[in-house]
Amino acid sequence: MGGRRGPGSSDETSTNVGPTTEAELASIQRGTAEDVDAALQAARRAFTDPCWSSVGPDRRGRNLPQIADMGGYSGSRCDTRVRAHSGERAWSVKTAR
């Protein structure tokens, strides 16, 4: 949050399951009310910072691959993960483009 990566305030985890196969996709740390408050504060700061809030949606969209790379996600890996979480099959995305 706020451009920093770090642990949340909970030691509890949840299993993230794919909607189509019910296969385990990831074990993720559960958030707390304090984590939500910190995320909201970071979002408010970003919204008022002209470095992000003054950028139009087209440019934001062009920046998303670089943001994903900074988070350790390649474009195809990110696409695969989005499809897995939404339950959409890869072939339907490719044929729709």
What tens digit of pLDDT does each residue of 47-72 get? Answer: 888 877 788 888 877 877 777 777 66
The residue range of the domain holding 86 is 56-97
Q: What is the DSSP letter of 21?
A: T
Single pTM value for the model: 0.51
- Give the whole-angstrom CA distance, residue 11 versus residue 68: 26
Q: Is residue 88 part of a domain?
A: yes
Give residue 74's pLDDT band: very low, low, confident or very high (50, 70, 90): low
Q: Is residue 36 part of a domain?
A: yes
Q: Is residue 33 part of a domain?
A: yes
Give residue 84's pLDDT band: very low, low, confident or very high (50, 70, 90): low
Per residue in 57-94, is it b (16+ CB within 10 Å) or e — as a string? eeeeeeeeeeebeeeebeeeebeeeebbeeeeeeeeee
**The pLDDT of residue 96:** 45
Together in a domain, 50 and 66 = no
